[in-house]
């Protein structure tokens, strides 16, 4: 793989390199021009980085960049190019208004959220297998160029959720943000699209306490099955913790777990949260 490709950054990498360096809060007027400059710079880095990736794919890979299209090929409609996935088993799950993930003890909840490994959702799938399931071509996995790298949607949503949470508390504390605000805007929009795509019509009961659906049972896809699906096809990818190159993010297999608590029990906050 070319050195230029080693420097190409995953989605977060270009954002991290262009984060706004602030030591405290600033007014809307004072922040406006640095923010505009930051967004322009991050967009430029993103364009240059992915340009290098596509150039490499076009020059050195059987799965060329010009084959990576985001619209149906001629003669096919959108329904014919939707990625096919096996149905996950379903199980009843009780959803709660508060769990350990929403505890007011931020020290404890930070540990839980930081333990979530969204990189577990990166899978490596043989190009021919992917094609047979109507998956769009994806970048080759370094060291296993016969396989494409894919990120399972639920793990992408969790990735975004962690970023939004992190920036929310950083903003509250008035400390420098770890990601540009535009990344959070993307995440909000990703949540909107995901929610509308799934259009869950479960009727939530209410008792007039502003906690609709608290403790209600839902029929959910089995998260254990999704996690195991990812484990069996692991791309051995990890999120960046420093300035690793894209190549260095591979070859890091986890223990088959993603750090999530399944069926987190309800947390009673009646003594600290007014009804």
Least confident piece of the model among 63-77, 107-121, 174-188 = 63-77
Predicted TM-score (pTM) of the model is 0.73
| % of the chain surpassing 70 pLDDT | 72
What string of DSSP letters covers 178-227? SS-HHHHHHHHHHHHHHHHHH---PPPP--SSS-TTTT-EEEEE-HHHHH
Whether 8 maps to a domain, the answer reads: no
- Residue 93 has φ and ψ, to the nearest 5°, of -130, 135
Domain that holds residue 163: 78-249
Mean pLDDT of 39-62: 41
The tens digit of pLDDT for each residue in 123-148 reads 999 999 999 998 999 999 999 999 99
- 131 occurs within a structural domain: yes
Q: Has residue 6 got a pLDDT over 50?
A: no
In a domain, 191, yes or no: yes
Domains held by the chain: number: 1
Q: Measured between alpha carbons, how far is 65 from 137 in angstroms, rounded to an integer?
A: 9
How many whole angstroms from its chain centre is CA 120? 10
Instruction: Using the predicted structure, report yes or no on whether residue 58 has a pLDDT greater than 70.
Output: no
- The answer to whether residue 3 scores a pLDDT higher than 90 is no
Mean of per-residue pLDDT scores for the chain? 80
Residue at 221 is within a domain: yes
Q: For position 64, what pLDDT does the model report?
A: 42
What does the pLDDT read at residue 77?
78
Strands 122-126, 144-151: pairing is antiparallel
For the chain, the first-to-last Cα distance in angstroms comes to: 58
In a domain, 95, yes or no: yes
Residue 13 lies in a domain: no
Determine, yes or no, domain membership for 173.
yes
Question: C-alpha 134: how far from its chain's center?
Answer: 22
270 within domain boundaries:
no
Whether the pLDDT of residue 263 is over 60: the answer is yes
């Amino acid at each position: 793989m070319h050195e230029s490709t080693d420097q190409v950054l995953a989605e977060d990498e270009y954002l991290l390199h262009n984060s706004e360096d602030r030591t405290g809060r600033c007014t809307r007027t004072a922040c406006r021009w640095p923010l505009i400059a930051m967004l322009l710079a991050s967009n430029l880095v993103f364009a240059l980085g992915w340009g290098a990736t596509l150039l490499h794919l076009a020059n050195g890979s059987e799965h060329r960049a010009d084959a990576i299209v985001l619209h149906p090929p001629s003669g096919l409609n959108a329904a014919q190019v939707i990625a096919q996935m096996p149905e996950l088993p379903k199980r009843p799950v009780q959803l709660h208004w508060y769990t350990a993930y929403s505890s007011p003890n931020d020290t404890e909840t930070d540990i839980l959220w930081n333990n979530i490994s969204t990189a577990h959702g990166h899978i490596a799938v043989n190009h021919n297998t992917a094609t047979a399931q109507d998956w769009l071509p994806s970048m080759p996995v370094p060291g296993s160029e016969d396989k494409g790298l894919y990120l399972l949607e639920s793990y992408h949503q969790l990735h975004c959720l962690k970023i939004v949470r992190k920036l929310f508390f950083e903003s509250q504390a008035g400390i420098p943000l770890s990601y540009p605000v535009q990344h959070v805007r993307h995440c909000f929009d990703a949540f909107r699209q995901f929610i509308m795509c799934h259009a869950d019509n479960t009727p939530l009961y209410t008792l007039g306490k502003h906690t609709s659906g608290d403790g209600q049972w839902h029929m959910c896809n089995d998260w254990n099955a999704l996690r195991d699906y990812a484990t069996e096809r692991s791309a051995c990818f990890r999120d960046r913790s420093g300035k690793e190159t894209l190549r260095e993010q591979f070859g890091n297999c986890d223990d088959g777990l993603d750090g999530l608590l399944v069926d987190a029990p309800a947390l009673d906050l009646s003594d600290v949260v007014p009804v």
